[in-house]
Amino acid sequence: MNMSNLKFTILPLKEKALTPFVKRISYIENETVEPQLHPIPPLDTTGLTFFFGDLMRNVYDQKNEPLPKRAYVLGITTKGGVSIVHQGTVKQLFIEFTPTGFYRLFHKDGNNFTNNPPSDFSTIDAQILEKELENCPRDIKSIQEVFENYLLSIIPTALPKIPLIDVVVELMQTDIVGKRSVEEISEKIGVHQKYLFRLFKKVTGISPKKYYRTLQWNTIMASINQNEEDTLTKLALECGFYDHPSFTKEFKKFMQISPSEFINGDVSLTEMVLKQRS
């Protein structure tokens, strides 16, 4: 059996001025002897990542390609078939942005990165950050410091707050099972649905409806633990899946295995996903 030693840690944000822009900083470390493939579940945030140690490969649209660099932009993911393959020891820092944080800091439309392979830092004009990361000591404290200092340096050029999107996301999060539709949310906050759609997609990279669904997926993933498939299915039905087969089909599209196989499979991977979504 191919065993891995996976560690996942949430790092406290040191520079509080970054709070409106940065949702979370995660550190992931994995050691494995044989090549391992990890399907990527739906992601509801655009982020920056830097990894060191052994190289990784990206599996996307049936292509299996090495990641030639170590620093990347990771966009929102709403479709299946995206995986990472690694072997040996890989250590990774992942900067997750708030719904508007990435757009405000880098002035780049989120839909340029959604459902795409990892993009290098030239796409956000951050080659200086990439160079600093490559040259800094290979320890988590130093890498986090480089990231935070760079983000602090570009706050003066950040775009203004976008309270409309913040309000919409908050309404979605307080009604995660989706009893309130996007149409009802638009009506509640007093904006035209088409305007909300255009603004939301420009900033986050996806439509309000897809963002809502991704939040629901994250809630479902966070509920996974041993012997709770019945609870998982019940929550999936509450979140808008028509029946158990439709949920299972959607789950397999993302994770490439059934919910029961995932629950009873690689515990370390399960724990990582749980922590990511909690």
Q: Mean pLDDT across the stretch 114-141?
A: 93
**For residues 91 and 107, what is the distance between their CA atoms, to the nearest angstrom?**
29
Grade residue 189 by pLDDT with cuts at 50, 70 and 90: very high
pLDDT band at 17, cuts 50/70/90? very high
Share of the chain above pLDDT 90, in %: 43
**Mean pLDDT of the chain, nearest integer:** 82
Domain extent listing, the chain: 4-157, 163-277
Q: Does domain 4-157 bear CATH number 1.10.760.10? A: no
Structure confidence at residue 271 as a pLDDT band (50, 70, 90): very low
**Contact status, residue 203 vs residue 165, Cβ threshold 8 Å:** yes
Mean pLDDT to the nearest integer, 24-46? 79
pLDDT at 29: 86
- More confident site: 196 or 31: 196
pLDDT at 153 over 90: yes
Q: Under CATH, which number does the domain 163-277 receive? A: 1.10.10.60
3-state secondary structure the chain: CCCEEEEEEEECCCCHHHCCCEEEEEEEEEEEEEEEEEECCCECCCEEEEEEECCEEEEECCEEEECCCCEEEECCECCCCCEEEEEEEEEEEEEEECCCHHHHHHCCCHHHCCCCCCECHHHHCCHHHHHHHHHCCCCHHHHHHHHHHHHHHHHHHCCCCCHHHHHHHHHHHHCCCCCCCHHHHHHHHCCCHHHHHHHHHHHHCCCHHHHHHHHHHHHHHHCCCCCCHHHHHHHHHHCCCCCHHHHHHHHHHHHCCCHHHHHCCCHHHHHHHHHHHC
